[in-house]
Structure 1
């Protein structure tokens, strides 16, 4: 295939899916952040000008912040923007660097999966017990399920990110 020929098949669909998912997650983050900013502005104005704060603004801000973090996690993982300590970079051996990349990737994937499983179990408990927020009575398990999905998707993204990183180091 020459460079001018268009790609066909699975790689093209995968790229389109990845771009679409990135766009949707980015849009969701944007909307949640805009809601947080709007809520905070309205609450401050209502509190100081009219002496009547928005009911449940603190709870909503907490839930929106958690949602923002969970929605942004797969994007951060896909971009490879997690904090990284490069202990093996000083080594000259390509084998050790390759093994280090494998260990780091497996650790990242493992941690994401463990947290996803723990959040899954916690969300189930919250749902069974009917736990809600104090004043607005918003079900807390919704945030738990969002977190579970976020960490599970991040684990999948970490698999692909690790594989691409290993291809670079090979």
Structure 2
């Protein structure tokens, strides 16, 4: 390999990240637009025609849960979660680095555990064929979306933690 040449892996990772960010952002946009459209149609139908959209409340709940799950990896990758920096006043560089490592490991562990728990819950919902009350939409779909969201967020948290650790180093 020639001096100064880069391995292609960082370029591929950046491409994958940009693509995933675009797709998740587009999905969030579409879900939000669907929520707005559904709410507008429901309000107009309810007050002008005295005929509300059947299952609008249920659909809004599912769309809101989907929006939150779709936005979670984006928020994690951007490092936009609320943080409390308890160790900011420390003078010791070693303690600050240990705190950064502990925060990163904790974040990744929490996301991974929640993902695993949601996988188990989605499997139960699927086995029991649980559906929504009025529209009979399978609930396991939201469970699997949540599990995938937290798994992707765990991966994003790994990259964010590494970047943060390198910045503070």
Structure 1 length-normalised TM: 0.95
Provide the residue aligned with 1:157 in structure 2.
Answer: 156
Q: Please give the alpha-carbon distance, in whole angstroms, between the structure 2 residues aligned to 1:160 and 1:12.
A: 14
**Alpha-carbon distance between aligned partners in 1 of 2:155 and 2:99, rounded to the nearest angstrom:** 20
The Cα offsets for residues 115-141 of structure 1, whole Å up to 9 and x where unpaired, read as 001100000000000000000000000
1:115 equivalent in structure 2? 114
* Structure 1 residue 85: Cα displacement: 0.6
Counterparts of 1:118-137 in structure 2 under 5 Å?
118-137=117-136
Residue 83 (structure 2) aligns with: 84
C-alpha separation between the residues in 1 aligned to 2:107 and 2:24? Answer: 21
RMSD: 1.2
Report how far residue 8 of structure 1 moved: 6.0
Are 2:124 and 1:139 aligned?
no
Cα distance in 2 between the residues matched to 1:83 and 1:141: 29
Aligned to 2:51: 52
Question: 2:166 aligns to what SS in structure 1?
Answer: helix
Matches of 1:161 and 1:132, distance apart in 2: 37
Consecutive unaligned residues of structure 2, counting only runs of 5 or more, are: none
1:52: Cα distance to partner? 0.2
The answer to whether residue 97 in structure 2 is matched with residue 98 in structure 1 is yes
Within a 5 Å distance, the mapping from 1:16-35 to structure 2 comes to 16-35=15-34
Quote the residue 1:66 is aligned against: 65
Q: Deviations over 1:76-102 (max 9, x none)?
A: 000101111100001111111111110
Q: Shift in Å at residue 10 of structure 1?
A: 1.3
Count of matched residue positions in the alignment of Structure 1 and Structure 2: 167
Secondary structure of the residue aligned to 1:114 is helix
TM-score, normalization: structure 2?
0.96
Which 5+ residue runs of structure 1 have no aligned equivalent?
Answer: none
In 1, the alpha carbon distance for the partners of 2:147 and 2:10 equals 28
Distance 2:96 2:25 in 1: 32
Which is worse superposed, 135-144 or 13-22?
Answer: 13-22
Shift of 1:9: 1.1
Shift of 1:21: 0.5
